[in-house]
Amino acid sequence: MRALLGLALALGGPLAGAAAAQDCRIALSLGLDVSSSVDAAEYRLQTEGLARALVAPEVVAAFLGEPGRTVTLQVYEWSGRGQQVVRQDWVPILGEADLARVAGRLLASGRGFSNFPTALGEAMAFGALALADAPDCVEHKLDISGDGTSNDGISPSEALARFPFDRVTVNGLVIGSSREALARYYQRFVIHGPGAFVEAATDYSDFEQAMRRKLERELQPGRFAGR
């Protein structure tokens, strides 16, 4: 991880900011669970796992797979009903260096919250509103990771009914020993839209590999790709 952070710092400068000449094919928002069920060691595995996944060759290839058509990325952490914080605001991914910088920024940032419940519906609502303000892209996708069912705030079903999900695909990544039951919960109440799916990690040490699989899959063109 020190090597990855060093690479990001060595690249220097701000994140690439101008993609006006390129079409945006996907706006992708990643929501990470930092509720009280995620301890300090698990949080580190999640953060480092995402950072490694973003610079894995197959994930880089998925981001850059359509020359001239970009993916715009955002990352946020979520916990209780009022605990959501953006870790990486919208940035166009124009090359491998952009992904390395995002990874470095995630590694350098601290945890926003640690002692709050699991407000999954609120996290989904936050992501939907973020996507409503995202750059103009052909597809909007929300990637919600979590290790438990919602126990605070509005329910996932309420979020889907009350917030702007008409053009949003919601995918899920479930983590832990109860992942099979949690995957059924996500399939019933959380995922939404064309091609939506649930990926599973056996525990937080498996988060990186699960996130790699998930990113490869959700960066493929979907139902709205021809519009």
What are the tens digits of pLDDT across the range 92-144?
Answer: 999 999 999 999 999 999 998 988 999 999 999 999 999 999 999 999 999 99
Q: Residue 7 pLDDT > 90, yes or no?
A: no
3-class DSSP assignment, residue 179: helix
Question: How do the domains of the chain map onto residue ranges?
Answer: 2-10+26-218
Chain centroid to CA 153: 21
Residue 156 scores a pLDDT above 60: yes
* Percentage of the chain exceeding pLDDT 90: 81
State the Cα–Cα distance between residues 87 and 102, nearest whole angstrom: 9
Residue type, 149: T
Q: Which residues contact 114 (CB under 8 A, 6 or more apart)?
A: 34, 36, 38, 40, 43, 79
What is Dmax (Cα atoms) for the chain?
A: 46
Distance (Å, whole) CA 63 – CA 54 = 9
pLDDT the model gives residue 9: 42
The predicted-structure confidence for 28-80, as pLDDT tens digits, reads as follows 999 999 999 999 999 999 999 999 999 999 999 999 999 889 999 999 999 99
What Å distances lie between residue 211 and 15, 30, 51, 125, CA to CA?
Answer: 22, 10, 10, 22
Does the structure show a pLDDT above 80 at 11? no
Find how far residue 31's CA is from the centre of its chain.
5
Q: Which residue type occupies 107?
A: L
CATH of 2-10+26-218 given 2.60.40.1930, 3.30.300.30, 3.40.50.10190, 3.40.50.410? 3.40.50.410
Mean pLDDT over each residue of the chain, to the nearest integer: 90
Q: Give the separation between CA 201 and CA 172, rounded to whole angstroms.
A: 11
Q: What is the pLDDT of residues 177-209, one digit of tens each?
A: 899 999 999 999 999 998 999 999 999 999 999
Indicate the burial class of 167 (C-beta count within 10 angstroms; 0-12, 13-18, 19 or more): middle
Helix (H) or strand (E) run with residue 201 in it: strand 198-201
Which of 179, 183, 76, 63 minimizes the C-alpha distance to 130? 76
